[in-house]
A and B are shown apart, each in its own frame.
Chain A
Amino acid sequence: EDKVVQSPLSLVVHEGDTVTLNCSYEVTNFRSLLWYKQEKKAPTFLFMLTSSGIEKKSGRLSSILDKKELFSILNITATQTGDSAVYLCAVEDSGGGADGLTFGKGTHLIIQP
């Protein structure tokens, strides 16, 4: 059974701080790891990672995957109040069928002004 563990489950920081969110996983046949941001409603896609050591970057957000140690991190630099959200990590198993993603419980990030 695929498993995704995120830490911390919640985090409160001040605007301007840098945060690192963690995601470790166990999956039978790894295909990809994805990060989503969820504010009030639907999760929105941030990154998809398939290869170790290659950083994906979008503005102040970046993410990297370590397939040997089975984890990924999501970094947010110079945080803003608009970064407050739940960040979800998910893994895709390539073992047959379009059976969706297995999600972690999420990290609830609160940015205080």
Chain B
Amino acid sequence: NAGVTQTPKFQVLKTGQSMTLQCAQDMNHNSMYWYRQDPGMGLRLIYYSASEGTTDKGEVPNGYNVSRLNKREFSLRLESAAPSQTSVYFCASSNLRAGELFFGEGSRLTVL
């Protein structure tokens, strides 16, 4: 009964370092999403993937890249981390075009 699994849960980076956040879902959902959540800002969409093989930019894509590796997995990469990318990152999936989203437990990233 895993649902949406994100790794790592916590990460501290230095400015300029790179890293990849991994996300996997076991609900056979077509659509997957990456959001970031900052205090007072709500959840903002970084990238999404409507189906395997497609990805699109959301509201705040700068500084990020994504890969939809297969139907289950959707990764988020920071090529050169900046302090402004300090945030909590949530991966989500859905069966329909959006509608009800199922969220992972979040990954807290700190960039020094």
Residues of A at under 8 Å CB distance from B? 4, 31-32, 34, 41-45, 48, 88, 90, 92, 94, 97-106
Contact = CB atoms under 8 A, between A and B. Distances in A.
B56 A101 contact: no
B103 A43 contact: yes
B100 A99 contact: no
Interface residues of B, number: 31
7 tightest Cβ-Cβ pairs between the two chains A and B:
A98-B50, A42-B103, A105-B42, A103-B43, A98-B97, A98-B31, A103-B42
Contacts of B27: none
B42 A92 contact: no
Given A42-B90, A105-B42, A100 B106 contact: no
Contact of B106 (A32, A41, A97): A41
A97 B56 contact: yes
B106 A42 contact: yes
B100 A97 contact: no
B48 to A, nearest CB: 5
A100 B33 contact: yes
Interface string B6-49: 00000000000000000000000011010100001111110010
